[in-house]
Amino acid sequence: MAIRNLRYEDDEILKKRSREIEVIDEKIKELAQDMMDTMHKWDGVGLAGPQVGVLKRIIVIDLYEENTQYTLINPIIIKEKGTQEVSEGCLSFPNKYATVKRPKEVVVEALDIEGKKVKIKAKDLLAQALCHEIDHLNGIVFTDKMEPGTLEIVKPEENGKK
């Protein structure tokens, strides 16, 4: 498949609401695979359609453990429980991190890549990733939700030197 170009923080597409996917055809399946490949290339945990310039309600997540890879179409959060304060980053905001309050547990309904309805009960990192990516579909980025004064910019190491 193909590695897609990422959209970055000043790109207005990141502030737009994505449209529901009506039909899961070969183009959507190809988009999903491209998104997974793009996310893996940049060592991300999740990626949403708008981050690759596509205003469609599709997200991919991989926690890099067995059975923790998800492709979700039209995901919605139907239940939230608890709160966790987490350090968060985003492939569209390279080298930037901030503290964000997220639900500790969520239940998400969506369609899988075959169009089958799925319900995911998630907590901790998976709950955080689901909330972060679903926010992207609604034109919300993590810096919109960060705790004031917590944004950090981490300079990448040059040639492996600190």
Contact 130, 106 (CB under 8 A): yes
Per-residue pLDDT tens over the stretch 63-82: 999 888 999 999 999 999 99
Is the confidence at residue 53, as pLDDT, over 50?
A: yes
Residue 22 known to be catalytic: no
Most confidently modeled range among 38-42, 65-69, 156-160: 38-42
Confidence class of residue 158 from pLDDT cuts 50, 70 and 90? low
- Beta strands in 32-151, from DSSP E residues, in sequence order: 46-48, 58-62, 69-81, 84-90, 93-102, 105-111, 117-123
Contact 118, 110 (CB under 8 A): yes
When pLDDT is averaged across residues 113-140 and rounded to a whole number, the result is: 98
Is the confidence at residue 161, as pLDDT, over 70?
A: no
Catalytic residue of the set 133, 152, 157, 158: 133
144: left (phi over 0), alpha (psi -120 to 50) or beta: alpha
Determine the pLDDT at residue 86.
Answer: 97
* 149 Cβ neighbours under 8 A, 6+ residues apart: none
Task: Name the residue with tokens 């970055």.
Answer: 8
Q: Measured between alpha carbons, how far is 1 from 38 in angstroms, rounded to an integer?
A: 10
Is the confidence at residue 159, as pLDDT, over 60?
A: no
Determine the pLDDT at residue 67.
Answer: 86
Residue 76 tokens read as 């919605």
Confidence class of residue 156 from pLDDT cuts 50, 70 and 90? confident
Task: Name the residue with tokens 């991919």.
Answer: 60
pTM of the model: 0.94
Confidence class of residue 7 from pLDDT cuts 50, 70 and 90? very high
Domain over 12-153 is classified CATH 3.90.45.10: yes
Contact 16, 55 (CB under 8 A): yes
